[in-house]
Amino acid sequence: MERLTQAIKEHARECGADLVGIASIERFEGVAPEHHPLSIMPEARSVVVIGRRITRGTLRGVEEGTQMSHYGMYGYDWLDNRFVALTTFRTAEFIEDHRWEAVPLAPLPAQIPASGIPVRAGLPAPNVMIDLEDAAVRAGLGEIGYCGLFLSPRYGPRQRFQAILTDAQLDPDPILTEAICTRCLAPDKLCPLGAIQADQESTLDVCGKKMVVAHIDYGLCRTCKNGARPNAYHNAAPPDRLAALCTRTCISQLEKAGRLENAFENPFRKRAPWAAVVKWEYKEGDLDL
Task: State the residues that interact with ligand SF4 by CB under 6 A.
Answer: 191, 193, 195-196, 220-221, 224, 226, 228, 241, 244-246
Q: How far is the CB of 215 from ligand SF4 (least distance, A)?
A: 11
Q: How far is the CB of 230 from ligand SF4 (least distance, A)?
A: 11
Q: How far is the CB of 171 from ligand SF4 (least distance, A)?
A: 37
Q: How far is the CB of 129 from ligand SF4 (least distance, A)?
A: 22
Q: Which is nearer to ligand SF4, 130 or 196 (CB)?
A: 196
Q: Which is nearer to ligand SF4, 37 or 273 (CB)?
A: 273
Q: How far is the CB of 194 from ligand SF4 (least distance, A)?
A: 8
Q: Which is nearer to ligand SF4, 31 or 190 (CB)?
A: 190
List Cβ<8 Å contacts ≥24 apart for 114-119.
Answer: 114/34
Secondary structure (H, E, C), the chain: CHHHHHHHHHHHHHCCCCEEEEEEHHHHCCCCHHHCHHHHCCCCCEEEEEEEECCHHHHHHHHHCCCCHHHHHHHHHHHHHHHHHHHHHHHHHHHHHCCCCEEEECCCCCCCCCCCCCCCCCCCCCCCCCCHHHHHHHCCCCEECCCCCEEECCCECCEEEEEEEECCCCCCCCCCCCCCCCCCCCHHHHCCCCCEEEEEEEEEEECCEEEEEEEECHHHHCCCCCCCECCCCCCCCCCECCCCHHHHHHHHHHHHCCCCCCCCCCCCCCCCCCCCCCCCCCCCCCCCC
Q: How far is the CB of 268 from ligand SF4 (least distance, A)?
A: 16
Q: Which is nearer to ligand SF4, 47 or 245 (CB)?
A: 245
Q: Which is nearer to ligand SF4, 168 or 214 (CB)?
A: 214
Spacing of C-alpha 66 from chain mean position: 25
Q: Which is nearer to ligand SF4, 47 or 221 (CB)?
A: 221
Q: How far is the CB of 62 from ligand SF4 (least distance, A)?
A: 12
Q: Which is nearer to ligand SF4, 20 or 224 (CB)?
A: 224
